[in-house]
Amino acid sequence: MIPALTPASWQLWCFATLALVMLMAIEADHRERRIPNVLVVFTIAAGVALHVLGPANERAGLFDTFPGALGAGQALLGIVVGLLVFLPFYFFGAMGAGDVKFMAALGAFTGPWDAIGLALTILVAGGVLALARMLMKRNSRVVLGNVMVLLGSWGRGGPQVFNPATQSADRMPYAFAFALGLVAYGYARLSGIGAF
């Protein structure tokens, strides 16, 4: 633990690091349509380091009114939980590998329990953004048709007919959903509204 680092200043360092990471992810995802592995590795290293060096409070974490570092074990468990929550979406072709790895990296900052709530909030934010994008681009017929084909193939137990990589009506950079979800989840937890 660094003696001069108070819980409030530790939380501020975490938020500043996350803001920087989010800006870099949005820029890369918008420009290249992917989140670079180097950013994922940096996010994991920063999250674990901040939880090792910060003032310990293993019951609080980042999004608490009395914040504190969870320690290396909880940060690493947060990585695993973040990965496991988003991994099924990758297997079904609904999300890219970079998005799954980035959720795992954010788990290093949140710890395991907040990783679940954050992931659910990000998924809701992604749905809202996708709906807004679909309405703005006026391609709802194509999008809904793709969803019906995908759901129909699961319901029949047959092979997946729809390939999102080649048949997608429009691929949204998901880093926007990460940023919106992170802000919404952090606000809900810190304001006492609650979260998932």
CA-wise closest residue to 44 among 3, 66, 76, 22 = 76
What are the tens digits of pLDDT across the range 111-158?
Answer: 999 999 999 999 999 888 887 877 776 655 555 555 555 455 444 554
Q: Is 193 left (phi over 0), alpha (psi -120 to 50) or beta?
A: alpha
Length of the chain: 196
What are the tens digits of pLDDT across the range 152-195?
Answer: 544 455 445 445 444 444 567 889 999 999 999 999 999 888 65
The domain ranges of the chain are 7-191
The pLDDT score that the predictor gives to residue 57 is 83
Measured CA to CA, the distance from residue 114 to residue 59 in angstroms comes to 12
pTM exceeds cut of 0.85: no
Measured CA to CA, the distance from residue 43 to residue 107 in angstroms comes to 9
The gap between the terminal CA atoms of the chain, to the nearest Å, is 31
